[in-house]
Amino acid sequence: MQHSDHWDWDSAHKAIPFSPWKGQFEWVEEPQASPDGETVAAIVKTGDAQFNVCANGAIWETPFEKIWHLRFAPDSRLTAIVSDSGEWTLAVDGVPWENRFGYVWEPRFSADGTSIAVKFQQDMRYGMAVNDAPWTTTFANMTCATLSADGRRSAAAVQVENFGEADIAAFQKGAFSAALDGQPWDRRFVNVWNMAISPDGRKLAAEVRLTLYDYTIAVNGEPWERTFNCVWEPVFDPRDGSVLAPVRQAGQWTLARDGSPAWERRFVQLWHPVFSSDGANLAAIVAPSFGTWTVAVNGTPWRSTFNELVSDAVFSPDGKRVAAIGKKNGSYHIIVDDSVWSQTFDMAWPPVFSPDGRQAAAKVETKGKYTFAIDGRLWNGQADAAWDPVFSPDGRKILFRTIENGSYVRRVLSVSDIAG
């Protein structure tokens, strides 16, 4: 959750020279812009085996042997994975965590940015660390890590029994489970994959494989009574805590709730379900027929279809509107409420809605240049790099963050000037 009501929405234009950095350092990596637009930062090489982070022209106080995966948290804190004396950890605004590991990767943030989690490896054992607090139990293998939206709980698929590479019998017996805050379920499975933590943090649901041929969803270690030919990642209904997941049976896909069919319609494919914030509506990416993709809302597919992909379905804050990206014949499109914007793009990024849901905007690319579209109308500027647009709390203004002519530019514009 971005605290954008405290941002500067009055300054129309701010610029920070970026190209001079390339003359100050041995090399400059890809820049990152803070969510509030006030800071641009990049990893820079300052000497032999010495790296640092430059933010708005100033470097962090302490250099490191290696730095990578520079990212801003939703609260605009600047994070990076850093190496010092052969050990790895996470640095936040230049200050490294106290815990050191053999390796860390894939930082994850809570919705408000106050919690940060990473996967870690130490002595060939794996776990997660949240806000510099590592799991007390580590595992021989770990995948599919997740962090709850509020950042209070972390989970992953873990290997809890050892077996040799050729020990098929031990594998089929079940050597995997799911761990919540490092504590694995008692139940063992042939495989465990993607998972979700309930909004109240009390439940963990995961894709599981019971045998070589039977798949289902397990909640807090207890599998659904029904099994399926395949399942995809589960989601929690924010209203009642029930669990829904795409399931495949008799060669077709549908949505199941707590093991029972939730949608009557069947599809060639169904995945990436997403609830509106109030739980009243549910959308998913579906294939009504082979090679044809669209969005289904509450089980009803859109008329607009695409022959390559549909992705990144997103609800408006009020839950009444849905937008997504579609690709057809090599070109990308933005779809809002089953209406396709007239422009085509070489690339498009997930649409964002204004707080009141009236407008939708997206970052897009055409012929190597980046710009923005609002309600199907293009901003007349172009950029060498850009980040997702952000609407002001009242929806009247929009924040553009770009790299133009060697400078980082923070620009606040009136939505009506672009969308009309």
Question: Token pair for residue 111?
Answer: 């919705």
Distance between CA atoms of 89 and 103, rounded to whole angstroms?
A: 7
Check: CB of residue 340 under 8 Å from CB of residue 334: yes
Q: For domain 1-138, give the fold.
A: Methylamine Dehydrogenase; Chain H (2.130.10)
Check: CB of residue 358 under 8 Å from CB of residue 369: no
HSE-up of 366 (CA within 13 Å, CB side)? 15
How many other CB atoms are there within 10 angstroms of residue 314's CB atom?
Answer: 18
Q: Is the pLDDT of residue 201 over 50?
A: yes
pLDDT at res. 263: 96
Pick from 317, 315, 310, 318: nearest CA to 298:
315
Q: Quick one: DSSP state of residue 308?
A: S
pLDDT at res. 2: 54
For the chain, percent of residues with pLDDT exceeding 90 = 94
Q: Is the pLDDT of residue 1 over 70?
A: no
pLDDT at res. 164: 76
Long-range contacts of 264-270 (CB under 8 A, 24+ apart): 264/299, 265/296, 265/299, 265/300, 265/301, 267/296, 267/301, 268/292, 270/232, 270/246, 270/296
Distance between CA atoms of 91 and 113, rounded to whole angstroms?
A: 14
Distance between CA atoms of 170 and 188, rounded to whole angstroms?
A: 11
Minimum mean pLDDT among 43-52, 170-179, 310-319, 398-407: which range? 170-179
Per DSSP bridges, beta strands 322-328 and 13-17 are unpaired
Q: Which residue has the tokens 């997941």?
A: 245
Number of H helices, E strands in the chain: 3, 44
Q: Is the pLDDT of residue 63 over 90?
A: yes
Q: pLDDT per residue over 101-160, tens digit each?
A: 999 999 999 999 999 999 999 999 999 999 999 999 999 999 999 999 999 999 999 999
Distance between CA atoms of 296 and 289, rounded to whole angstroms?
A: 13
Going from N- to C-terminal start, the domains of the chain cover 1-138, 263-340, 343-420
For the residues 341-368, what does the mean pLDDT come to?
97
Q: Which residues contact 219 (CB under 8 A, 6 or more apart)?
A: 203, 204, 205, 243
